[in-house]
Structure 1
Amino acid sequence: MEKNKVKSIHDLGQSIWLDFIDRQIMDSGELQRLIDEDGVRGVTSNPAIFAKAISSSSDYDADIKELSQEDLSNEEVFYRLAISDIQRAADLFKPVYEEEVRGADGYISLEVSPLLARDTEGTIRQARELWKAVDRENVMIKIPATAEGLPAIRQCISEGININITLLFGLERYEAVAEAYIAGLEDRVKANQPISHIASVASFFLSRIDVLIDPILKEKGLEQLQGEVAIASAKKAYEIYKRVFGSERFKKLEAKGAKPQRLLWASTSSKNPSFRDTKYVEALIGPNTVNTIPMDTLEAFRDHGQLASRLEENLDKATDTLAQLKKAGIDLDAITQKLEDEGIEKFNDPYNKLLDAIAQQKKKALASEKS
Structure 2
Amino acid sequence: MTHALHQLQTAGQSPWLDAIDRTMIADGTLERLIREDGLCGITSNPAIFQKAFAAGDGYERAIESKVEQGELDPLSVYESLALKDIREAADLLAPVHARTSGADGYVSLEVSPTLAESARETYQEAHRLWKALERPNVMIKIPGTREGLEAVEDLIADGINVNVTLLFDRALYRRAAESYQRGLERRAVSGKPLNTISSVASFFISRIDTAVDATLQQRLDTRLSGENARQAKELVGQVAVANARLAYRDYLGILATPRWRALAEMGARPQRLLWASTGTKSKVMSDVHYVESLIGSQTVNTMPPETFWAFRDHGQVNPTLSEGVAKAEHALTRLSLLGIPLNSITARLRQEGIDGFKSAYAQLLETVAGKIEANTHPTTGEHPCKLA
TM-score, normalized by length of structure 2? 0.92
C-alpha separation between the residues in 2 aligned to 1:73 and 1:334? Answer: 40
Q: Would you say the 8 A contact 1:228–1:321 is kept in 2?
A: yes
C-alpha separation between the residues in 2 aligned to 1:76 and 1:287? Answer: 40
C-alpha separation between the residues in 2 aligned to 1:24 and 1:66? Answer: 16
Partner in structure 1 of residue 380 of structure 2: none
Give CA-to-partner distance per residue, 1:324-370, whole Å, 9 cap, x none: 11111211111000000111121112211110111122223332336
Please say if 1:296 is aligned against 2:306. yes
Partner in structure 1 of residue 92 of structure 2: 92
C-alpha separation between the residues in 2 aligned to 1:72 and 1:364? Answer: 11
Please say if 1:345 is aligned against 2:371. no
Specify the SS of the correspondent of 1:286: coil
Bigger drift between 296-305 and 102-111 goes to 296-305
Specify the SS of the correspondent of 2:203: strand
Partner in structure 2 of residue 360 of structure 1: 370
Within the candidate set 274, 281, 295, 1:285 is matched to 295
Deviation, 1:72, is 6.4
Partner in structure 2 of residue 165 of structure 1: 164
Q: How many residues align?
A: 369
Partner in structure 1 of residue 44 of structure 2: 45
* Aligned partner letter, 2:95: P
Deviation, 1:107, is 0.4
* Aligned partner letter, 2:310: A
Q: Would you say the 8 A contact 2:71–2:77 is kept in 1?
A: no
Specify the SS of the correspondent of 1:95: helix
TM-score, normalized by length of structure 1? 0.96
Q: Would you say the 8 A contact 1:141–1:164 is kept in 2?
A: yes
* Aligned partner letter, 2:193: P
C-alpha separation between the residues in 1 aligned to 2:326 and 2:51? Answer: 41
C-alpha separation between the residues in 2 aligned to 1:300 and 1:55? Answer: 25
C-alpha separation between the residues in 2 aligned to 1:75 and 1:189? Answer: 37
Q: Would you say the 8 A contact 2:143–2:165 is kept in 1?
A: yes
Partner in structure 2 of residue 128 of structure 1: 127
C-alpha separation between the residues in 1 aligned to 2:303 and 2:156? Answer: 25
Give CA-to-partner distance per residue, 1:106-160, whole Å, 9 cap, x none: 0000111111111211111110000000000000000000111110111111110
Give CA-to-partner distance per residue, 1:160-214, whole Å, 9 cap, x none: 0000011110111001000000001111112221111000000000000000000
Q: Would you say the 8 A contact 2:72–2:372 is kept in 1?
A: no
Q: Would you say the 8 A contact 1:48–1:347 is kept in 2?
A: yes
Deviation, 1:63, is 2.6
* Aligned partner letter, 2:315: G
Specify the SS of the correspondent of 2:196: coil
Give CA-to-partner distance per residue, 1:13-33, whole Å, 9 cap, x none: 000001111111112211111
Q: Would you say the 8 A contact 1:6–1:38 is kept in 2?
A: yes
* Aligned partner letter, 1:26: I
Partner in structure 1 of residue 76 of structure 2: 76
C-alpha separation between the residues in 2 aligned to 1:117 and 1:144? Answer: 6
C-alpha separation between the residues in 1 aligned to 2:66 and 2:29? Answer: 28
* Aligned partner letter, 1:22: D
* Aligned partner letter, 1:85: D
C-alpha separation between the residues in 2 aligned to 1:118 and 1:65? Answer: 35
Bigger drift between 295-304 and 167-176 goes to 295-304
Deviation, 1:58, is 2.2
C-alpha separation between the residues in 1 aligned to 2:57 and 2:292? Answer: 36
* Aligned partner letter, 2:49: F
* Aligned partner letter, 2:66: L
* Aligned partner letter, 2:131: K
Partner in structure 2 of residue 7 of structure 1: 6
Deviation, 1:70, is 4.6
Once the two structures are superposed, the pairs formed by residues 93-108 of structure 1 within 5 Å of their partners are 93-99=93-99, 101-108=100-107
C-alpha separation between the residues in 2 aligned to 1:110 and 1:311? Answer: 28
Q: Would you say the 8 A contact 1:7–1:37 is kept in 2?
A: no
Partner in structure 1 of residue 199 of structure 2: 200
Q: Would you say the 8 A contact 2:168–2:204 is kept in 1?
A: yes
C-alpha separation between the residues in 2 aligned to 1:318 and 1:293? Answer: 23
Specify the SS of the correspondent of 1:93: helix
Once the two structures are superposed, the pairs formed by residues 214-253 of structure 1 within 5 Å of their partners are 214-218=213-217, 219=219, 220=224, 221=229, 222-253=232-263
Bigger drift between 8-17 and 296-305 goes to 296-305
* Aligned partner letter, 1:140: M
C-alpha separation between the residues in 1 aligned to 2:48 and 2:157? Answer: 29
Once the two structures are superposed, the pairs formed by residues 107-146 of structure 1 within 5 Å of their partners are 107-146=106-145
* Aligned partner letter, 1:27: A
Partner in structure 1 of residue 266 of structure 2: 256
Specify the SS of the correspondent of 1:290: strand
Q: Where in structure 1 are there 5+ consecutive unaligned residues? A: none
Q: Would you say the 8 A contact 1:266–1:292 is kept in 2?
A: yes
Partner in structure 2 of residue 63 of structure 1: 62
Partner in structure 2 of residue 305 of structure 1: 315
